[in-house]
Structure 1
Amino acid sequence: MKFTELPLKSACVIDSEPFEDKRGLFERIFCEKEFKEISHSKKIVQINHSFTKEKGTLRGMHYQEPPMTEIKMVKCLRGSVYDVIIDLRKGSDTFLKWFGETLSSDNRRMMYVPEGFAHGFQTLELDCELLYFHTEYYSPDYERAVRFNDPKVGIKWPLDITEISERDMSHELLSGSFEGVLV
């Protein structure tokens, strides 16, 4: 597995090194030893799967507040998505900066989302499936979100948004008093 740092400190993309032959391929997508090195010994406690039918669907931008902050690793198993992270860490040099990367079943790339980052994606084609690895359990009481079109962040989505949940559409814009997430 190859880890490539992103412009947002602590975030990275992970490229697998699949073994291919005439039978097909074998790909390691998780190694606890390598994960511990970048996650400071955090453990994966939950793995989730999502399926999104329509091209242009947006999900996000979600995060969890302390004490339930989490690291996520996100992999596209089918189709392709524009995967986006926002640095929400209080005091970070890249506070409120965002980064987007195409994840697809073809490029086999994963996004490593550090604690204190919001995460979301937009599907670039029909029938997309994602796998999520989490270091914390889902906790509705600590779940928060940044609105997908918040002008303080300025994410440039690649497609017109065709589907979005009422919940994601209704997230409030960041207020002037938002100082970030303490991690």
Structure 2
Amino acid sequence: MNFERTSIADVVVVEPKKFGDSRGYFMETFRQVLFAEHVGTFEFVQDNQSFSAEVGTVRGLHFQTEPKSQGKLVRCIAGAILDVAVDIRSGSPTYGAHVAVELTAENGKQLWVPPGFAHGFCTLKPNTEISYKVTDYYSAEHDRGLLWNDPRLGIDWPVDVEKAALSDKDKRQPSLADLGSVFTY
């Protein structure tokens, strides 16, 4: 397994090694001891999976506030996404900055999105599925979001703003300027 720090050091790309032959392939997608050595010690308590039928589906940017903040280890198991993590830790030198990584079923890459970051993605292929581990359980009371296309974030989403498939909730999220302090660096 390869662990690559991104432009925001706390966000890490995890790339499993694939072993293939004429039958297909095998890859180990998670090993706690290696994750702890290269990323940190986190306990994953829930696995989630989502399916998006249309290209240009945007989900996010989502996060949970303390004391139910979540770290996420995201991978694409069918199709492809542009996966995005936005630093929303007040006082962070990278506050408001983001990392965007293409995750596909073929490349097997995963993105570690630590607590204190908003997370979202845009589908690049039809019938895309993602699977992700989280470090705390879902809590509707602590569920929050950030406006996915806030110009201040500078995210180059691969979809026309007018054509993006979004939930009503994601269309109404606050901008970074209106978010306030939710995490401290």
Question: TM-score, normalised to structure 1's length?
Answer: 0.94
Candidates 167, 170, 180, aligned match of 2:169: 167
C-alpha distance in structure 2 between counterparts of 1:176 and 1:163, whole Å: 23
1:180 Cα shift? 4.6
C-alpha distance in structure 1 between counterparts of 2:165 and 2:92, whole Å: 32
CA contact (8 A) 2:64 2:143 kept: yes
Query: Are residues 1:13 and 2:13 paired?
Result: yes
**Corresponding letter in the other structure for 1:37:** E
CA contact (8 A) 1:62 1:120 kept: yes
CA contact (8 A) 1:66 1:182 kept: no
Q: Deviations over 1:162-181 (max 9, x none)?
A: 31000111112233572351
**Aligned match of 1:119:** 119
Is the alpha carbon distance of 1:24 and 1:177 closer, same or farther for their aligned partners in structure 2, counting shifts above 3 Å?
closer
Q: % of aligned pairs identical? A: 36
Is the alpha carbon distance of 1:135 and 1:38 closer, same or farther for their aligned partners in structure 2, counting shifts above 3 Å?
farther
C-alpha distance in structure 2 between counterparts of 1:177 and 1:115, whole Å: 16
Gaps of 5+ in 1: none
**Aligned match of 1:31:** 31
**Corresponding letter in the other structure for 1:178:** G
**Corresponding letter in the other structure for 1:24:** G
Moved more, 88-97 or 170-179: 170-179
Is the alpha carbon distance of 1:44 and 1:85 closer, same or farther for their aligned partners in structure 2, counting shifts above 3 Å?
same
C-alpha distance in structure 1 between counterparts of 2:57 and 2:84, whole Å: 13
**Aligned match of 2:62:** 62
Is the alpha carbon distance of 1:12 and 1:39 closer, same or farther for their aligned partners in structure 2, counting shifts above 3 Å?
closer
**Corresponding letter in the other structure for 1:35:** F
Query: C-alpha root-mean-square deviation of aligned residues, in Å?
Result: 1.5
Is the alpha carbon distance of 1:177 and 1:119 closer, same or farther for their aligned partners in structure 2, counting shifts above 3 Å?
closer
**Aligned match of 2:181:** 179
C-alpha distance in structure 2 between counterparts of 1:104 and 1:18, whole Å: 14
**Aligned match of 2:129:** 129
Is the alpha carbon distance of 1:116 and 1:24 closer, same or farther for their aligned partners in structure 2, counting shifts above 3 Å?
same
What SS is found at the alignment partner of 2:170? helix
Gaps of 5+ in 2: none
The runs of 4+ residues in structure 1 deviating greater than 4 Å are none
CA contact (8 A) 1:60 1:121 kept: yes
**Aligned match of 1:142:** 142
